[in-house]
Structure 1
Amino acid sequence: MKIARTENVLERIEGMGVKRILPIGNDDFRKLRENESYYVDKTLMIKDFIEMQDEVTLIARPRRFGKTLNVTMLKEFLILKRIAEIFLMVWQLWIRNTRMRLIQDLSFILHLKILKEPR
């Protein structure tokens, strides 16, 4: 007996005048967000993972429970967090370099002013 696969089926549901996709078999968090699909919000799981500080975590759940979706959600969060950290580092370097240039320019101007003043 052959079981029909519903992994590629996308059902449209109308809710409050907005059509949203009910993803069946979609396990990519980014695609769910881009397509404005329905999904169960498990973002508090990220907080639990961060608080545990374990090197390895076993997620023992039955099939079709959303394990892969949760892992891709965690991956997207960590990527965004890393991008934010890199942006902050670049911003701080830019500010530090701008300050140094400003201090150098000011010291150069003061130095010239001291040299040009008659004694």
Structure 2
Amino acid sequence: MNVIVARMAAAPRGTRLSLWGLAVGVLGLVVQWIADPGKFYPFPPGIVVIAVCGVLVLCTVRRWWAPVFSVLIALWIVLGGWAAGQLVPNLVSGDMGTVAGTVVMSLGLMFAAVTGTVAMAGVRHARAR
């Protein structure tokens, strides 16, 4: 646990924000899981995928492109889920837990995508000077 805290402390602000966005995305999946456990037997695989991407960000934290893993997973889940027709049914579900979890997950992941992109662009721009 101390290694994770040390890596987070060493990360640039934008990278840390993208990791927090991933954490909020996981929280949204947990809310969905609690609302409809049968939908995610035995548990939502997205939690593991997002966690692995977060670990990849932490492992590469000293590189300017480290947040790319946050950006890619966030866009894959949100845009891919929308394109595959899986996101909208969750948003209009009769189960308020599913709706709330989907909203929290989507907002957290989009936050991760935006902050990760801004972090990479900012570092890249600063290096170009």
Bigger strand share: 1
- Which entry has the higher C-alpha Rg, 1 or 2? 1
**RCO greater where, 1 or 2, for CA within 8 Å and sep 6 or more?**
2
